[in-house]
Amino acid sequence: MKTDMQASRDDERPGASAELRTKLLKYTGGLLLSIILTGVSFWVSGTGAVWPGGVPVLLAALAIAQMGVHLLMFLHVSSGPESTNNIMSLAFGVFVVALVIFGSMVIMNSLDARMNDMPADARPDAHRMTMAPGG
């Protein structure tokens, strides 16, 4: 056990401390960036200084930026050859997520609007009442 630990410590590559410093900088940078982005998100949603119509767009942009920071800084998504498969599947995942969320929103909002416009005798529950006396 002891010798295993020793061996793994001995074959550390030269320049490992520089690597450690870059990693620490990367993680600290990631943390600071996400704190800033979160702070701005909360400020935007609470202040009256931003035109109300722009608030949702701004919040969406900040959230996407923060997800990007997490992917790059913490999940180590990069343009390197080892990441190619991860990036392709990420792109497909983002596509499916967008399809599910925006597709549901569009379809359900459209249905909702049509149901409200419908004349009273054309509603699904009116069908039974008009058919019952004749049948």
Partner 1 sequence: MSAVLDEPLQTIERPVPRSQRGPASTEVTTTYGMWLFLLSDIVMFAAFFAAFVVLREHTAGGPAGRDLFHRHTVLLETGCLLLSSFTCALQGIGVEYRNKRTTYMAAAATLILGAAFMFLELSEFMQMIADGAGPGRSAFLSGFFALVGLHGLHVACGMVWLLVMLAQVATLGFSPKVVRRLLCFSLFWHALDIVWVGVFTVVYLGAFA
* Position 46 contacts partner 1 (CB under 8 A): yes
* Position 116 contacts partner 1 (CB under 8 A): no
* Position 113 contacts partner 1 (CB under 8 A): no
CA angle 79, 87, 19 (to 5 degrees): 40
Distance CA 56, CA 30 (A): 24
* Position 104 contacts partner 1 (CB under 8 A): yes
Tokens 């390197």, located at residue: 80
Binding partner 1 by CB under 8 A: which of 18, 49, 79, 92?
Answer: 92
Distance CA 34, CA 37 (A): 5
* Position 36 contacts partner 1 (CB under 8 A): no
Binding partner 1 by CB under 8 A: which of 13, 14, 22, 59?
Answer: 59
Q: What is the residue-wise DSSP string for 8-66?
A: HHHTPPTTHHHHHHHHHHHHHHHHHHHHHHHHHHHHHHH-SSS-GGGHHHHHHHHHHHH
* Positions in the binding site for partner 1 (CB under 8 A): 1, 4-5, 8-9, 12, 16, 20, 23-24, 27-28, 30-31, 34-35, 38, 41-42, 44-46, 52, 55-56, 59-60, 62-63, 66-67, 70-71, 74-75, 81-82, 85-86, 89-90, 92-93, 96-97, 100-101, 103-105, 108-109
